[in-house]
Structure 1
Amino acid sequence: MRGRLIQGGSCKAKSVLLDGLKDHLRTIKRSGRIVFIGRGTSYNAALATRPILVELSGIPITMEVASDLLDRQGPIYREDTTVFVSQSGETADTLHALECALENGALCVGITNTVGSAIARNTHCGVHINAGAEIGVASTKAYTSQIVVMAMLALAIGGDAISNQARREAIIDGLFELPNIKVKEVLKLDQEIKDLPKLLIAEQSLLVFGRGYNYATALERALKVKEVALMHSEGILAGEMKHGPLALVDENLPIVVIATRDACFSKQQSVIQQLHACNGRLVVMCSKGDAASVSVCGSCRVIEVPQVEDYLQPVINVVPL
């Protein structure tokens, strides 16, 4: 965020400055739709920021898994802005999708962590996330940084709408508080999180339920378990619980439910009650002070995390996970 977020002052408004995009912002704002294309963690990061992108831009937003887009030859039009999200900037299917978008005349934007990568070189414009090199397969700091960059992208696209001004300023304030206040606070859970895997180390499978902003968090948490622990894990949209996943629930299967306080909180409370009724073995992540509201009869293992604005909650929630 350094150098890109302007906190304002007595005569300056709070704003965002993305030098790599400033010459193309007018074109992006006139797009028929914005298509985010990525794979794995990068796709999850885009999915986490979709609600705030839709809210601030007022432009239809589409999320595409690069391999699926190629397999079904999904249409890309000249009026589209295509955003290619990749930690390495060298993801093969994402690069092939970029070639198709260029051939079809779409504006191509890159969001990568690697200066000089193929996506950085071949897109019309973009943003480097500057998270530093990821050492290993499991992308972690790039994921949280991608979410922050795409939140700033949403601010930049919606930057001249007077109706959104108060909301934009609140988002900028939230971004400034994120590293030195909220993330430091969640890192104090270190010992508690170290104790939790001792209960799960012998398990063969793990389900993770999320909703709204935190559906992407559920997908990302499950992906990391597969990549690092070599254990089966599945991220599930909590609204689809009754359509298959509920049949898997018993007293043996460990389940993580992300139920931090947002617009979906009451729905997640209902999900927890239904899982408990099926004797589910639950670990619930909630906002500080909500333990009593989410632990049915005190039977759930609860992780309490700091409360932030809904669009930034995925950054906080993914850290302990």
Structure 2
Amino acid sequence: MCGIIGYIGEAVAQPRLVSGLQNLEYRGYDSAGIALVDDDLAVFKRTGLIGDLALPEDSDQTCGIGHTRWSTHGKPTDANAHPHTDCSGRVAVVHNGIIGNYDDLRTELSEHTFRSETDTEVVAHLVEEQLATTDDLRAAVAAVLDRIEGSYALGVVAAGYDGIVAARQNSPLVVGHGGDGTFIASDVTPLLEHTREVSYLEDGDVALLTGTEVTVWNDGAVVERPTQTIQWDADAAEKGGYAHYMLKEIHEQPQALRQAIAGRLDPVEGSVDLDLSLSPAFLSGLDEIQLVACGTSYHACLYGKQLLELLADVRVTVEVASEYTVGRGRTPGRTLVVGVSQSGETADTLRALRMADRTGIRTLGVTNTVGSTIARECDDALYIQAGPEIGVAATKTFASQVVTLALLSVAVADARGELDPSQARTLLEHVEALPGAVQQVLDRESAVIELAEAYAGGDAFFFIGRRMGCPVALEGALKLKEISYDHAEGFPAGELKHGPLALVTEGTPVLAVVTDGARPEETHNNVKEVQSRGAPVIALVSEAAGVEEFEVGFPVPALGVLEPLVANVYLQLFAYHVANVKERPIDKPRNLAKSVTVE
């Protein structure tokens, strides 16, 4: 993995491939390359940045494919960079995913010369063998797919063959329909400057792209994949004057939240409309809701669990998707599994949802991406509507996920006959006020910058909270470690005395969520514990309580159980500015990718 781009049409391909790869940089990568094809094939690839590629100045080819690689099989080397070629140098392949049986295939292909350690290269050699028996590149690739196991999004070209062949199995691939050609890409981001008309390939699809049309086959038969119009403006994927995408997206949170709730709530009536097919009879009969996710989405689920149990009187469990199994003692018809994934393509979350589906458990996908695999495969899809998020470290999508789960909590409570109208009205009034509350925090950014500069040299950072404050503490620590590379740890505030206090020193800043929704009185006691050990404390405090008794305190607007979500914006800004002081590559942190599409 990580990013694929392909173009065929009337224009010169090289600049479109390069700009496409640059627009995919946010996914993270350690090497890059492109292949240009007409009657001959030319491949340019290497480790390092896209700008390091030694590209021709006079390229005139109108067809090509490109790739940014994040290493899975084989170290980051020039040889392991994509595209990969066959023995003759006439076939080029780019690939996201994992070929599960590549060892066996490599043994079968022992007469071929391999130049890399990757699983992908076997595909190029298999296509080479097929082209010895057919002049149809699409048929050759289709025959190869019958021999490979695992997950893949593939782009294949060959010298002397017109077109790009694309294929997808358990890894996302989008087709773009432009005015002067057609495209393939890992997601829509690199397509926006050329077209908004896209279609999403589905598992088992094999597509042939020419300069004027796209034909898709599945199981040997031609199929239609509907064209969708992307509503994002092209500049929505640009930095908009900010130094980094992450900072831009932190500041986009008020708008993202407005989009997440638009047309969905009536705070006067205390009701929501999420346009789901989950019937009241099904929801009222539930014994359990299982939330499954990874990383930031997992933290959003921990917050959502608290809201669901508070409002809907239903047992809720939260599981890391990679650890999910369908446990014994559950009745499929009385269980709902909710998979939360920003991209809708997270491999571990998809695996968990498919496992649940095979046992007859109903599934709901909560995602940011229309047309994603999770949105298509789940029984229902609920979109967070946050708009494109480019920075690897998730920010605005976390807030939108939590708010969407809050709306889901009201809907489930209503369907189960457990809704307290007064409680629902209060929560929805607070949801409606969230964008303004977040903006108040953003307006205090200059004070956070001063704080980040003062504490950037900390030995380690602890984040503590209770109840809704606990997932925010976990998320705050994750943000800091992701982009600053500092050791940061988040945990329930009450766990301090069960071990972590041994690590608290004068060089260990402690960031504490001391708001409504986070049991502030008890957390305050834990703050005193670390203060007595000399640790500096940065407290995020309910506005009504006041910050005077804290040496460093930031006020959080009064929003009840949603106050920790607002406090999280301070933690995002703190993490960003600590990393900025350290001159870290904030949008492309080492070893990380935006969308993790392999298990």
TM-score between the two structures when normalised by the length of structure 1: 0.91
Cα distance in 2 between the residues matched to 1:186 and 1:25:
38
Q: Are the equivalent residues in 1 in contact too, given 2:516–2:563 (CA < 8 A)? A: no
Matched, 1:168 2:428: no
Distance verdict in 2 for CA 1:259–1:162, change over 3 Å:
closer
Q: What's 1:4 paired with?
A: 264
The one-letter amino acid paired with 2:266 is: I
Give the aligned partner of residue 154 of structure 1.
409
CA contact (8 A) 1:259 1:284 kept: yes
Structure 1 stretch 259-268 or stretch 138-147: which is displaced more? 259-268
Check if 1:104 corresponds to 2:355: no
Amino acid at match of 1:280: A
Match of 2:434 in 1: 178
2:471 counterpart of 1:216: yes
Compute the RMSD of aligned alpha carbons: 1.7
Number of matched pairs = 307
1:124 equivalenced with 2:379 (yes/no): yes
Equivalent position SS for 2:420: helix
Structure 1: gaps (5+ residues): none
Contact kept? 1:291, 1:302, Cα under 8 Å: yes
Structure 1 counterpart of 2:547, from 274, 291, 295: 291
Is contact 1:29-1:57 (8 Å) kept?
no
Question: In 2, distance between residues paired with 1:162 and 1:120?
Answer: 28
| Contact kept? 2:322, 2:349, Cα under 8 Å | yes
- Indicate yes or no: 2:580 matched with 1:320: no
Over alpha carbons, which structure has the higher Rg? Answer: 2
CA shift in 2, pair 1:163/1:146, >3 Å: closer
Residue 449 of structure 2 is aligned to residue 194 of structure 1: yes
Give the CA deviation at 1:59: 1.1
For 1:263 and 1:213, locate their aligned partners in 2 and report how far apart those are by CA, in whole Å. 5
Q: Give 1:23 deviation, angstroms.
A: 4.2
Distance in 1, matches of 2:547 and 2:267, equals 34
Q: What CA distance in whole angstroms lies between the structure 2 residues aligned with 1:277 and 1:169?
A: 41
Q: How does 1:216-295 map to 2 (within 5 A)?
A: 216-262=471-517, 264-288=519-543, 289-293=545-549, 295=550
The separation in 2 between residues aligned to 1:117 and 1:25, in whole angstroms, is 27
> Quick one: which amino acid aligns to residue 192 of structure 1?
A
> Partner residue of 1:68?
323
Q: Which amino acid aligns with 1:268?
A: T
Q: Closer, same or farther in 2 for the Cα pair 1:37/1:274, shift >3 Å?
A: same
Identity of aligned residues (%): 35
1:239 is matched by which residue type in structure 2? Answer: G
* Counterpart residue number, 2:288: 33
Preserved contact between residue 129 and residue 149 of structure 1 (Cα < 8 Å): yes
* 3-state SS, counterpart of residue 159 of structure 1: helix
Q: In structure 2, the residue corresponding to 1:222 is in which secondary structure?
A: helix
CA contact (8 A) 1:217 1:314 kept: yes
CA apart distance, 1:292: 2.7
Q: Does 1:308 align with 2:559?
A: yes
Q: What residue is the counterpart of 1:92 in the other structure?
A: 347
Alpha-carbon distance, 1:25 to partner: 4.3
> Could you list the per-position Cα deviations for residues 208-254 of structure 1 after superposition, in whole angstroms to 9, with x for gaps in the alignment?
11111110000000011111112211001111111100111111111
Q: Deviations over 1:49-77 (max 9, x none)?
A: 2222002111110010111225xx64564
Contact 2:472 2:568 in 1 (8 A): yes
Q: Which has the higher strand share?
A: 2
**Do the aligned partners of 2:469 and 2:564 also contact (CA within 8 Å) in 1?**
yes
Residues 464 and 490 of structure 2 are in contact (CA less than 8 Å); yes or no, is this contact kept in structure 1? Answer: yes
Contact between 1:48 and 1:314, CA under 8 Å: does it hold in 2?
A: no
Aligned partner letter, 1:278 = R
SS at match of 2:443: helix
For 1:292 and 1:54, locate their aligned partners in 2 and report how far apart those are by CA, in whole Å.
34
Letter in 2 for 1:218: A
Which structure carries more helix by proportion? 1
TM-score (norm 2): 0.50
Deviation at 1:26, TM superposition (A): 3.1
Pair 1:263–1:43, CA change in 2 (3 A): closer
- Residue aligned with 2:299, SS: helix
SS at match of 1:135: coil
Counterpart amino acid of residue 6 in structure 1: D
d(CA) in 1 for partners of 2:368, 2:517: 30
Q: Quick one: which amino acid aligns to residue 2 of structure 1?
A: A
Structure 1 residues 141 and 290: CA distance shift in structure 2, 3 A: same
Change (3 A) 1:163 1:100: closer
Q: CA–CA distance in 2 between the matches of 1:18 and 1:138?
A: 27
Deviation (angstroms), 1:162:
6.7
Query: Quick one: distance in 2 between partners of 1:81 and 1:54?
Result: 14
Per-residue Cα deviation, 1:251-302 (whole angstroms, up to 9, x for no partner): 1111111112346111011111111111112111112252134x2xxxx322
2:410 touches 2:419 (CA, 8 Å); kept in 1? Answer: no
Q: CA deviation at 1:14?
A: 3.4
Match of 1:144 in 2: 399
- Output the CA distance in 2 between the equivalents of 1:58 and 1:261: 21
Which secondary structure state, in structure 2, belongs to the residue aligned with residue 178 of structure 1?
A: helix
Q: CA deviation at 1:132?
A: 0.7
Q: Do the aligned partners of residues 151 and 261 (structure 1) sit closer, same or farther apart at CA in structure 2, a change above 3 Å counting?
A: closer
Matches of 2:418 and 2:315, distance apart in 1: 20
2:430 & 2:356 partners in 1: Cα distance? 34
Partner Cα distance (2:478, 2:331) in 1: 31
Decide whether the 8 Å contact of 1:24 with 1:125 is kept in 2.
Answer: no
